[in-house]
Amino acid sequence: MNGFISRGFGGHRRVPEELADRLPPGQYVESGFPVLTAGPTPKVDTADWTFRVDGMVGQERKWTWEEFGQLPFEDVPCDIHCVTKWSKLGTTFRGVPVDVLLDAAEPLGSYAVQYSYGGYTTNLPIEDLMDGKAWVVTEHEGEPLPREHGGPARMLVPHLYFWKSAKWVAGLRVMDHDEPGFWEERGYHEYGDPWKEQRYWND
């Protein structure tokens, strides 16, 4: 085992000092990439995949996989934080900034719901999808996004707990009010800021 890392009392590895300020309160460092899915894993073929922006927008938009591939992609190095307390530090996805998708549709509401193939949903203020804070990603560490992690495409909103990053994403619905999604209806926090430990309803 590497000299910077030793076993902590909690049974989780201690964080190397240079990474400690990247670990939100109550989280531990996970070097693998756990899979957390409620229910079955949808099988979404890129030939059938579309991404939509709908709801309260000036113009509803829809991209096929091929059209989506023409949009500007960027690498997204980031840290991800799951409400079940693992964090994965320094991992890289590749995808299209949500700004590009929203700009095309002219959003008129202040909230959004991400919706997925398979029925998962998660809500957030639309601002949290803007200004380079969110992406629709199709690659992880230079490989196509594995199906169990949401491939062919998932949302990535790394500044919020990872349940706010819908796998197998099918689109965004723009709304004028905040409407709880799958986990938010079942006790998870409306907003989910890992730095404020907003895990559950009363946090």
Write the single-letter amino acid at 195.
Answer: W
Cα-Cα-Cα-Cα torsion 138, 172, 102, 33, nearest 10 degrees, comes to -30
Q: Report the residue number, 36 or 108, with the smaller CB distance to ligand MTE.
A: 36
Binding-site partner at residue 168 among ligand MTE, Mo ion, none, CB < 5 to 8 Å by type: ligand MTE
Question: Judged by CB under 5 A, does residue 36 bind Mo ion?
Answer: yes
Q: Report which residue's Cβ sits closest to ligand MTE.
A: 120
Interface residues with ligand MTE (CB under 6 A)?
Answer: 34-38, 82, 116, 118, 120, 149-150, 162-163, 165-168
What is the C-alpha to C-alpha distance for residues 126 and 113, in angstroms, rounded to an integer? Answer: 9
116 is in the binding site of which of Mo ion, ligand MTE, none (Cβ under 5 to 8 A by kind)? ligand MTE
Name the E strands within the chain.
28-29, 50-55, 61-64, 74-81, 86-97, 111-116, 121-125, 135-140, 143-144, 154-156, 169-175
As measured in angstroms, the least distance from the Cβ of 164 to ligand MTE is 8
| Chain contacts with Mo ion (rule: CB under 5 A) | 36, 82-83, 163
